[in-house]
Amino acid sequence: MKKVLMLLTAMMLFLSAKSQSNTDQNGIKTTITNVLSAQNAQARRYEIITLGYNSHHWQKGGAIIIELFDAYYATGYEKYIVEAGYLQGTPGTSPKLRFVNRYGYSHNGRIVLGTPTDMGISYGGYPNMTMAIYLDVREYSQYRVRITYMQDRINTFTDHNQVRVQEDPPGVNIEDFMAPDMPDENLITSGQLTVSGSGNHYFQNGNVGIGTTQPDAKLSVKGKIHAEEIKVDLNIPGPDYVFDKDYSLLSLQETADFIKVNRHLPDVPSAKQMEKDGVNVSEMQMKLLQKIEELTLYVIGQQKMIDKQTVDLRKMQEQINSGKSNN
């Protein structure tokens, strides 16, 4: 009798442990895999899920949430979402993988989508497909995976909206890889954006628009900018070349003739051109400085003429005074 009770207890514990790795709460199913690991420094790949879906848009419950928990010594957590829902993916409904979150210190696992395979059956005139979903694990790492889904769990595919989940799949050796270092999910919010962490904050790629959804530069602002100081790095030479001996400075008459014809200064864009193309602040500042330096040369030239005329007038006056005294 005692042996029977011990056997029944062992069976109940086994069934309890087995049931805890698979749950179904009102249609939302969860499966937790066994520990899946690399073989020391050898990276391994595990087919944890095979998804059955329709190649057009006949889907329901398409989202599959995959969470990776580092089961070794370091902390590590990653979250992925596989989308295979109505009108999602290109072309038709090709499942799409999103890396949406990560925390912790160690990140040596990743989720990878396999190649679509035709089931040989169709729905709504469009082929049903299967696609393997893999967990890759690298260098001395171990992971448990929690998979949340609403598709029907099966062993053999007979239709779309089905999924085969393996808690303890066999692994195969693969080349080493680098796990993704940042989520690829869009950040969209109707609330305020506050960044309070210390250190530098940066946008690695793309353009930023404020007041516009079509930024055409690294920072595009439709509106006013208020700043205490703006520093612009030069990508064109400063205009000190104006003071070089071989600089071709237009005469004042040549400048006047140009203005009479064109209605703007030489080497400076016209008002119509600035209205059309905008103003490059760095370039315009250098143009204005060029004109100031040219104006300085004109003033120096004018002052030399004035000084010479002053000397000449003084000499003439001295000659006149000398003539009067002789008389």
Contact 185, 76 (CB under 8 A): no
Bridge partners, residue 96, by sequence: 83
Chain centre distance of CA 274:
31
C-beta atoms surrounding 44 within 10 Å: 18
Closest alpha carbon to 89 in 122, 51, 121, 145:
51
Bridge partners, residue 122, by sequence: 127
What is the longest distance spanned by two Cα atoms in the chain? 158
Looking up tokens 């930023």 gives 208
pLDDT of res. 163: 92
User: How do beta strands 64-70 and 162-165 pair?
Assistant: unpaired
- List the domain boundaries for the chain: 26-173, 239-313
Residue 167's alpha-carbon distances to 48, 58, 295, in angstroms, are 7, 28, 81
Residue 326 CB burial class (10 angstroms; 0-12, 13-18, ≥19): exposed
Looking up tokens 């990140």 gives 107
Closest alpha carbon to 128 in 205, 59, 199:
59
Contact 193, 210 (CB under 8 A): no
Reduced to 3 states, what is the DSSP secondary structure of residue 239? helix
Cα–Cα distance for residue pair 203/206, rounded to 1 Å: 8
Element (DSSP H or E) covering residue 147:
strand 142-149
pLDDT of res. 60: 72
Contact 210, 218 (CB under 8 A): no
Contact 160, 123 (CB under 8 A): yes
Chain centre distance of CA 256:
51
Cα–Cα distance for residue pair 63/85, rounded to 1 Å: 7
Closest alpha carbon to 264 in 237, 243, 284, 247:
284
Total residue length of the chain: 327
What's the chain's Rg over C-alpha atoms? 38
DSSP for 254-265 reads HHHHHHHHHSS-
Closest alpha carbon to 93 in 82, 77, 102:
82
Q: pLDDT truncated to tens, each residue of the chain (327 aa)?
A: 555 555 555 554 444 444 458 888 888 999 999 999 998 999 999 999 999 988 876 677 678 999 999 998 888 999 999 988 766 644 456 788 999 999 988 899 999 999 999 999 988 888 888 999 999 999 899 999 999 999 989 999 998 889 999 999 999 999 999 998 888 777 788 888 888 888 888 888 899 999 999 999 899 999 999 999 988 888 778 889 999 999 999 999 999 999 999 999 999 999 999 999 988 888 898 999 999 999 999 999 899 999 999 999 998 988 888 877 766
pLDDT of res. 92: 54
